[in-house]
Amino acid sequence: MQELFGTDLSASNHFGAPFPPWAHGAHPGWYFGHFPWLHNGLPCFPGPSCKIMQYFPWALQCPPHPPHFPFPPHHPPPPPPNDGYHQTFSNLTGATQAADYMTYGLVDTVADCKAMCDSVQGCKFVNSYHDVNGKDGSTQLTCSLFTNCHTSADADNKGGQTQPDGSIDFIQNSDGWCKV
């Protein structure tokens, strides 16, 4: 698998992100979304990788994209269906930092982050946030997965790491979601 993707996408290697986002030298382990060409060097889901990953059941698997239901013009969208998650905090300037860290990657939406959690055995909590200056200029959300639920008390990673270009990263729009 390492020969195919350039990294070990198993649980023992935190699904390609062996260092948590708050650690020096950390890098996302994967990307899940609609713009894989923006993330050269990361295993990107969906795509051809998904078919290959089926042969490695112990590794990170591709989640299905959440359905998108169009609604008629000039009508408000219906309320979203219950997706099985309860929000524990929202719009914080700190990200979850905890010992039960599983992996992290980049996603386009909060729904994509939840879909990744649903595809990783043992995942119970997602923390999505903007890591400003921390992803080589990427506008994608950082999506961290954990085995236990967390509250705002655990969102103490405020950034502050110096980036290769000399900028300092910081956290915005941090949301926590626990599986119910």
For the chain, 180 residues long, give each residue's pLDDT as a single digit of tens.
566 666 777 788 888 889 998 888 888 888 888 888 787 778 777 767 777 777 777 777 777 765 555 555 566 666 666 789 999 999 999 999 999 999 999 999 999 999 999 999 999 999 999 988 765 666 789 999 999 999 999 999 998 877 777 888 889 999 999 999
Q: Which amino acid is at 131?
A: D
- Residue 139 and residue 38 in contact, taking contact as beta carbons nearer than 8 Å: no
Predicted confidence at residue 84, as pLDDT, reads 93
Q: Where are the alpha helices (DSSP H) in 6-93?
A: 48-53
Predicted confidence at residue 41, as pLDDT, reads 76
Short-list 116, 98, 99, CA closest to 32: 116
Task: Reply yes or no: is the peptide bond before residue 46 cis, omega within 30 of 0.
Answer: yes
Instruction: Provide the b/e sequence for 155-176 (b: ≥16 CB within 10 Å).
Output: bebebebeeeeeeebbbeebbb
- Token pair 């990361």: residue: 42
**pTM of the entire structure?**
0.79
- Residue 142 and residue 60 in contact, taking contact as beta carbons nearer than 8 Å: no
Query: In whole angstroms, what is the distance from residue 29 CA to residue 6 CA?
Result: 11
CA angle 131, 135, 137 (to 5 degrees): 100
Predicted confidence at residue 164, as pLDDT, reads 74
Predicted confidence at residue 136, as pLDDT, reads 61
Q: Which amino acid is at 13?
A: N
Predicted confidence at residue 66, as pLDDT, reads 54
